[in-house]
Amino acid sequence: MKVKKKKSGAVAVRGHKKPLWKTLRDNKVLLFMCMPAVVFFIVFCYCPLPGVYIAFTNYNFRDGIFGSPFVGLKNFDFLLKSGQLWALTRNTVLYNLVFILLGNVLQITLAIMLNEIKSKYFKKVSQTIMFLPYFISVVLIGAIAFNILNYDTGALNTLIRETGGNPIKIYSMAGVWPFIIIFCQMWQQTGYGSVVYFAAICGIDSSMVEAAEVDGATSWQRIRYIILPSLKPTFIILLLFALGGIMRGNFGLFWNMVGNNSQLFATTDIIETSVYRMMMSQNNFSTSSAVGLYQSIFGFVLVMFSNWVVKKIDPDYALF
């Protein structure tokens, strides 16, 4: 330890930086607990990185990844000239923005409503019921939607026919499908997402809430001035994490709801579904990889920019 005397006469103590091996030794238990996650990301995220090279080649199975002819940015040029990339990006980003913003609002609302319930038994039953849709497969959700909405035997059109009305061809109406998909997403994910906010509410210092009640604060005042400000860090962190995947659409939901129905592509086609069709119909690995690389770079830039903005506003809420 060094002691440095300042000109003003004050004494400043400056300690030596601990060596890396000592830091690792002192935190070996925490590092051991992190090992599964570290191995997971190395195997599934970093080891496949050389495959990015496919996006710059005319890939074929015979020559392999690094033996295929190098074509530079030709695969990206094809996407830009086709005009398809803009439509896919717009749909993917807009859907995810709605999922993130509306989803978080509904999750916070649901968590606050659960917190206001006094009966512990009713609260637990309500949580269980709202949590169940998360475990329902999107394949089953698509089947349920089809049995309700299809033209010939769907429950909705059967009801319309029975009441003397004209059946609706919903699978030909592209304009209504954004609302249907958003509803299904919210129905499946809101209950699960509310658990995080409910846990954050349970972690709020109860003495503040009790003091507010003693001072005569109403339920709305407690929510507005204590609970919502306390949820701000959780909301910002979840928002930053979600923005990183804003270019990653929910493939399972969109594919099982829409499938290959080209009449709905204008409002429901996202990057994942388009890449999947491209792979299945054309075996075009190069263009598909180019789209995937575009998604990753866009998401990385967006996370870095969002974190920079948050850091400028309040560094305590930034990821790094």
Tell me the pLDDT tens digit for each residue of 167-213: 999 999 999 999 999 999 999 999 888 988 988 898 888 888 888 88
Q: For tokens 């990339």, what's the residue?
A: 85
Mean pLDDT of the chain: 85
Give the separation between CA 304 and CA 315, rounded to whole angstroms: 14
CA atoms within 13 A on the CB side of 194: 27
**Distances from the Cα of 112 to the Cαs of 60, 108, 205, 277, in angstroms?**
55, 6, 15, 42
Does 293 have pLDDT greater than 60?
yes
In the predicted model, what is the mean pLDDT of residues 35-60? 89
pLDDT at 100: 92
| pLDDT exceeds 90 at position 76 | no
Residue 16: pLDDT above 70? no
Task: Say whether pTM exceeds 0.85.
Answer: no
Question: What average pLDDT does the segment 101-117 reach?
Answer: 91
pLDDT of residue 5: 47
The number of helix segments (H) and strand segments (E) in the chain equals 16, 2
Across the range 84-101, mean pLDDT stands at: 89
pLDDT band at 141 (very low <50, low <70, confident <90, very high): very high
Q: Which residue is it, tokens 């859907």?
A: 95
The 10 Å Cβ neighbour count of residue 81 is 9
Give the helix/strand (H/E) hosting 38. Answer: helix 28-41
Q: E-strand spans in the chain?
A: 2-5, 11-14
Looking at residue 320, its pLDDT comes to 75
| Residue 45 pLDDT greater than 90, yes or no | no
Kind of pairing, strands 2-5 and 11-14?
antiparallel
Q: Is the pLDDT of residue 3 over 70?
A: no
Q: How far apart are CA 238 and CA 114, in angstroms?
A: 20
Q: What is the mean pLDDT of residues 213-229?
A: 87
| 260 torsion bin: left (phi>0), alpha (psi -120 to 50), beta (else) | alpha
What pLDDT does 279 receive?
75
| Backbone phi, psi, residue 3, to 5° | -115, 120
The pLDDT tens digits for 237-280 are 888 888 877 888 889 999 999 988 889 998 999 988 888 887 77
Give the percent of the chain with pLDDT over 70: 93
What is the rounded CA–CA span in Å between residue 155 and residue 149? 7
